[in-house]
Amino acid sequence: MDDRGGLGNINESPPLDAPTPRDVHMKFPAAEGSSLNTRPATGGLGTLRSGWKRLMQGTIFSSVFTLLSTCIGAGTLSLPYAFQQGGLIPASIIFFLIMVVSITVGFQLFAAKRYCEQLNPGTQVWGYEDIALVAFGPIGKIIVLLTLIVLLVLTLIAYMIFTRDQLDLIVQFALTKTGHIPTCSPLMNCAVLVSMAFIPIFPVTLLRVLTPMQITSTFGMMCITYVGITMFIKMVIYQSNRPVNRASIAPEDPSGLLITVSYCSLSFVCHFNLLPLQKELHRPTKKRMSIIVVFSMLLAYTLYNLVIFSGVFRFFGDLQEDVMLNYPRTDVLMTTARVALFFTLLCSYPVLLHPTRGRHKQTRHL
């Protein structure tokens, strides 16, 4: 009864508790992105997209290993021969100076990029050819593009030759152990095997960005590190059982210095991938790019020296241009190193084909 003695409104509902967010959500579904929507709208697809986005963003780690995979490869095998021709002391000085010059070139490349973008606001510089376009005009861009294409194509041809050579030695070792005599030539066998080996790496070569290649680049660097360690072990075993192999500290022929310079100057060539990596890098500041350049060159220099001195002190005087050819074909440990080297070369193709494909595409629009 109310204050007036009546029964009041019998249809009036009793007071209820305040509605919870869950009740509101069930009656009026929250819009996507609302704080009331407790489940992600895209589910696993959203997680996949965010993971791919993070993978596409370059880091210092991924950039360093991509540059290492670009410069360390087939040329590593010829450096002991180059040091033999130039003498240890002169060749070591030349090699160190080339490493310093390579770091300086990286810094100058970034400075040229900033200068070109300040000179022409709105211009995006992501390669040598863009700098040449600002500095020298369309003719300069064409010359730089053609030069880069020739350099990259010749490098790929050299890699294919070294890949075939290593696979030839691996196949011969396997045939020797099994006692099977092939009915066709080793070259044909290797050609078929090389073609089959390219099948798993082929999808990686189709990527339009360099950052996802960090997986193959890291694996390739692990393999080439294993090659250097096995060469060092072989050198230690050899020197412990025989008199010390005294390598010449000076060149026997002054022309040997030219051979040293020609081989060493190609050991740090990776600058055509610097600016594309900067484009993909998360927070591409000047400091982060400087760290990438310096660390890449120092790590390459260290690994190169491991291979160089292991080969020189093991075979000095009898070194071939491919140091792996100096080791017996029946050596089990070095055969595992040849397998690792084969994978290193295989993992280097994506980072070489990426700039080659990009430059070739630009030449079609000239």
Share of the chain above pLDDT 70, in %: 78
- Give per-residue pLDDT as tens, 151-189: 999 988 888 888 888 888 888 888 777 665 554 555 455
Top pLDDT among 273 and 122 is at: 273
The full set of domain ranges for the chain reads 62-363
Cβ count near 50 (within 10 Å): 11
| pLDDT at 52 (0 to 100) | 52
328 by Cβ neighbours in 10 Å (0-12 / 13-18 / 19+) ranks as exposed
Picking from 259, 290, 309, 260, the residue whose alpha carbon sits closest to that of residue 67 is 290
Q: Is it the case that residue 347 has pLDDT exceeding 70?
A: yes
Round to whole Å and give the CA distance between 5 and 18: 30
Query: Residue 35 gets which letter from DSSP?
Result: T
Whether this prediction's pTM lies above 0.85 is answered by no
How is residue 302 written in tokens?
């260290």
Cβ count near 242 (within 10 Å): 8
Least confident segment among 30-39, 241-250, 266-275: 30-39
Buried b / exposed e over 66-97, threshold 16 CB at 10 Å, is bbbbbbbbbbbbbbbbbbbbbbbebbbebbee
- Give per-residue pLDDT as tens, 125-146: 888 888 999 889 999 999 999 9
Most confident option among 30-39, 225-234, 313-322: 225-234
| pLDDT at 44 (0 to 100) | 60
Round to whole Å and give the CA distance between 60 and 174: 40
Taking phi over 0 as left and psi of -120 to 50 as alpha, with beta for the rest, 152 belongs to alpha
Q: Are 99 and 268 in contact (CB under 8 A)?
A: yes
Round to whole Å and give the CA distance between 198 and 335: 20
List 281's β-bridge partners, or say none. Answer: 58
Round to whole Å and give the CA distance between 159 and 221: 16
- Give per-residue pLDDT as tens, 236-270: 888 766 655 556 777 777 888 999 999 998 899 88
Least confident segment among 17-31, 105-119, 149-163, 278-292: 17-31
DSSP H or E segment with residue 101: helix 88-119
List 176's β-bridge partners, or say none. Answer: none
Share of the chain above pLDDT 90, in %: 28
- Give per-residue pLDDT as tens, 195-207: 787 888 888 888 8
Q: Is it the case that residue 275 has pLDDT exceeding 80?
A: yes
| pLDDT at 182 (0 to 100) | 54
Three-state SS for 332-356 is: HHHHHHHHHHHHHHHHHHHHHHHHH
Query: Residue 322 gets which letter from DSSP?
Result: S
